[in-house]
Structure 1
Amino acid sequence: MNLHSSLAETSSRQLSDLTQHEIQALRTRFNLADAHTHQRQSTAQQKIVSRLPELWYEAENGLQATYERNFTEAFLRLHGQHTALAREKTMLSYAASISTMVAGMYLKQQRMSVTLIEPCFDNLYDVLDNMGVPLYPIDESALHDPDRIYAELKRRVRTDALFLVDPNNPTGFTLLQYGRKGFEEVVRFCKDHNKLLIFDFCFASFTLFGSELERFDIYELLESSGVSYLAIEDTGKTWPVQDAKCAMITASDDIHQDVYNLHTSVLLNVSPFVLNMLTQYVEDSRRDQLGSVRDVLSTNRDAIRKALDGTILELQEPVAAVSVAWARIDHPELSATELQRILGTAEVYVLPGRYFYWSQPDKGESYVRFALAREPRTFADAMIRMREVLDRHAR
């Protein structure tokens, strides 16, 4: 069986989640599915790669705690999260999914129900659902008016915990557009009503530098409020390191010991070599203010904006310039599932929106998501292919 017939057979059946789509996309020429970083190294990053043997032997001869501390300090300083740095209670794992599993284990242990934002990447829903955590949706629109956030949460949230993604994947929405107020209102609601607040900050790097958004010290707000919280951060969507990554989970003092006990039941440590290498990437981004990352995304965002102009796809402009693009299908008879299949015939693989709407998949059939963290030349070629297909399917 050749590659094209294999993909055709796969596309003829319904895959169960987005990750299964992303696995298929890895076989295609123009993989615009997963949001992992596939762009080439910048000039400065090439120098880091040339030092990998040196970094290997450094890690081999050093203490695990040294590389954990160096990485955590570099990452939290880059993000301006000085309170989390001072508290020294952030736990490391090798993937955001592992940190989410730990959060899910805590929720299951405490028999908590969760209100989860929609749309969001379905991995969050799947991990929690597979652990038997009761889940209920809250539409992202509940957070779109800072003067109404508290009232909307009070009206809609009936569970023990509230789980938000900021910036959100796939839409790029972030509470940071309201300064501190949006976060303050969410925290105030959770504190007043005794809710555990869970944040996924895995796209937060895209709110740093080069925009009107300003990521303030969110952990200072969380700690000073006294709210019970879990916060997940990640490197996986920012730097082109072939999935050698690190995720973090931080817990409020009242639940930290319980979460720590669960975390140590899952893993011992992240590779000191990986931590040593990632620290170099984080420090490089501090020096260039994430320029090498933002430039690639900006180039590709301009390319997709031009490619979609005048087609049946309408780009939804994000609040935060995240590493994905979300587009609405303006065609009465074309679903996201069908559009994905059509684009697949041109070896362009995108994600259908139905999986992001985990409680009402049909609503997502009006949207598709594109990954932007790609080598610009390859991405430009994908846009040419895509435009040719779209022009044949004009409304």
Structure 2
Amino acid sequence: MSELANLTTMEVDALTDLDGGLNLTDGHARLELSAEQAAIVARIPEMFAEASRRAFPDIEREAHHAYLTAIGQHSAPVGTGRILSCYSSTLATDIVARALPHGARIAVLHPTFDNIADLFVTRGLSLVPLSESALLARDWPGPPVNAIVVTHPNNPTGLVTPPDHLRSLAEHAVRNGQTVIIDASFRGQVKDAQYDTYAILDEAGADWITIEDTGKLWPTHELKIGMLAYSARTKLPIERAFSESLLSASPVVLLLVKALTDDWIDGGHERARALVERNREVVRSTLAEIGLHLADPTSQISVARIELPPDGPDSSLLYKDMVARGVHVLPCAPFHWADPASGLKYIRLSLARPYATVETAARTLTQSYLELSAAC
């Protein structure tokens, strides 16, 4: 692997490990199906038949309404044509990047998942970092910044942008002619993030774009939907950029999303959260044995960062040693896309895995850290 590898490259390495190494890299749900979810998946043949006889717009509208209502987004523009279904949130992000004016200056939350910054740069945009501390201080960038990108909740830290802060950002953006872009890919996991952001943005009169994602919630092997929603005020050619990328998402997957959403609000969220929190606790307690701690103890998303002391091995060394031991995790330097060195003191594990997998990874991390520390 190259030193310049991005996070997705590391995730692919884990996914395709021919030696069967444990994969705790990506934030996708890689759990066993619950009994309720298994019963829904068993109905996929019925969904194929239903998709063949029903109109796509009706299926899409029902899926959008079910999912967005379930996560508190009652003001989302369901049925207006301003929510586009994509194969993934990454594709939705690329569509947004292509719709923005070439050369525009964009403020992006820092740290956050590096493919957001990478896609914007690839499409010819100029980036400036917006730190989490600046967000919490409501210190918003002004012109010449054209758009401000917030990840809500943020990956990898779990930071939720509070409602009053989003309102402040929206009002600032209106005053300065800026677009607010929200990546809400982890929103479905966190109740605190499920206040109605669409209502706040519209009440402020903001020009906004929001990306939702079902891929972090259910272990459906990439059968997921990224929803790209945009305000009635936007002048950006989003539909044109969308049409250059795809015709539509699968109606079968939309039917699956609708069914899984119904289960999510009927106890599915609580069952998944209990699994994730049990895994977070075993990571916390195992690492505490050697004096390491969670960097974001109040985070509710399905990943955990561990903070490394300055006098020990950094996450780059630890990552390589962990892979050699058959466990894939993520070093955090790439999350700090504008200042990679500041991410060397963090390493990240996914918690959306079976308990035994997470426990083994935590134990391996402690052993790796102790042996590397002794060798330093």
TM range (shorter): over 0.9
Aligned counterpart in structure 2 of residue 199 of structure 1, from 182, 207, 210? 182
Residue type of the alignment partner of 1:191: V
Structure 2: tracts of 5 or more residues without a match = none
Shift of 1:371: 0.8
Distance 2:373 2:314 in 1: 14
Secondary structure, aligned partner of 2:188:
helix
1:153 aligns with 2:140: yes
8 A Cα contact 1:92 1:247, kept in partner: yes
Shift of 1:259: 1.4
Equivalent position of 1:119 in the other structure: 111
Distance 2:297 2:242 in 1: 34
Shift of 1:380: 2.0
1:386 aligns with 2:365: yes
Shift of 1:283: 0.9
Shift of 1:243: 0.7
8 A Cα contact 1:312 1:331, kept in partner: no
Distance 1:317 1:167 in 2: 12
Equivalent position of 1:274 in the other structure: 253
Distance 2:297 2:204 in 1: 29
Distance 2:276 2:105 in 1: 37
1:174 aligns with 2:150: no
Higher mean C-alpha displacement, 373-382 vs 277-286: 373-382
8 A Cα contact 2:65 2:78, kept in partner: no
Residue type of the alignment partner of 2:47: L
Secondary structure, aligned partner of 2:237:
helix
8 A Cα contact 2:153 2:193, kept in partner: no
1:90 aligns with 2:83: yes
8 A Cα contact 1:172 1:322, kept in partner: yes
Residue type of the alignment partner of 2:311: P
Secondary structure, aligned partner of 1:266:
coil
Shift of 1:340: 0.6
4+ residue segments displaced more than 4 Å: none
Structure 1: tracts of 5 or more residues without a match = 1-9
Shift of 1:320: 4.0
8 A Cα contact 2:111 2:131, kept in partner: yes
Equivalent position of 1:260 in the other structure: 239
Shift of 1:57: 1.6
Q: Deviation per CA, 1:120-177, whole angstroms, max 9, x where unpaired? A: 1000011111111111112111123xxx31xx215x764111111111000001123x
Identify if the C-alpha distance between structure 1 residues 337 and 312 changes in structure 2 by more than 3 Å, giving closer, same or farther: farther
Distance 1:257 1:185 in 2: 23
Q: Deviation per CA, 1:75-97, whole angstroms, max 9, x where unpaired? A: 11101211114563211101111
Distance 2:50 2:198 in 1: 32
Map 1:29-68 onto structure 2 (within 5 A): 29-68=21-60
Identify if the C-alpha distance between structure 1 residues 300 and 98 changes in structure 2 by more than 3 Å, giving closer, same or farther: same
8 A Cα contact 1:297 1:373, kept in partner: yes
Identify if the C-alpha distance between structure 1 residues 78 and 318 changes in structure 2 by more than 3 Å, giving closer, same or farther: farther
Higher mean C-alpha displacement, 33-42 vs 310-319: 310-319
Q: Deviation per CA, 1:270-302, whole angstroms, max 9, x where unpaired? A: 111111111111110011151232122111111
Equivalent position of 2:92 in the other structure: 99
If the length of structure 2 is used for normalisation, what is the TM-score? Answer: 0.93
1:302 aligns with 2:281: yes
8 A Cα contact 2:24 2:329, kept in partner: yes
Equivalent position of 2:353 in the other structure: 374
8 A Cα contact 1:172 1:318, kept in partner: no
Q: Deviation per CA, 1:96-125, whole angstroms, max 9, x where unpaired? A: 11110111011135x421011110100001
Identify if the C-alpha distance between structure 1 residues 198 and 361 changes in structure 2 by more than 3 Å, giving closer, same or farther: same
Equivalent position of 2:201 in the other structure: 222
Identify if the C-alpha distance between structure 1 residues 318 and 188 changes in structure 2 by more than 3 Å, giving closer, same or farther: farther
Aligned counterpart in structure 1 of residue 10 of structure 2, from 1, 14, 21? 21
Shift of 1:258: 2.4
Secondary structure, aligned partner of 2:202:
helix
Distance 1:127 1:186 in 2: 23
Shift of 1:354: 0.8
Equivalent position of 1:6 in the other structure: none
Secondary structure, aligned partner of 1:255:
coil
Distance 2:334 2:3 in 1: 11
8 A Cα contact 1:60 1:273, kept in partner: no
Residue type of the alignment partner of 1:267: L
8 A Cα contact 1:76 1:85, kept in partner: no
Secondary structure, aligned partner of 2:286:
helix
8 A Cα contact 1:170 1:324, kept in partner: yes
Distance 2:193 2:343 in 1: 30
8 A Cα contact 1:312 1:390, kept in partner: no
8 A Cα contact 1:313 1:328, kept in partner: yes
Q: Deviation per CA, 1:26-75, whole angstroms, max 9, x where unpaired? A: 21421111111110101111111221221222212222112211210111
Higher helix share: 1
Residue type of the alignment partner of 1:188: E
Secondary structure, aligned partner of 1:47:
helix
Percent of aligned pairs sharing the same letter: 27
Secondary structure, aligned partner of 1:22:
helix
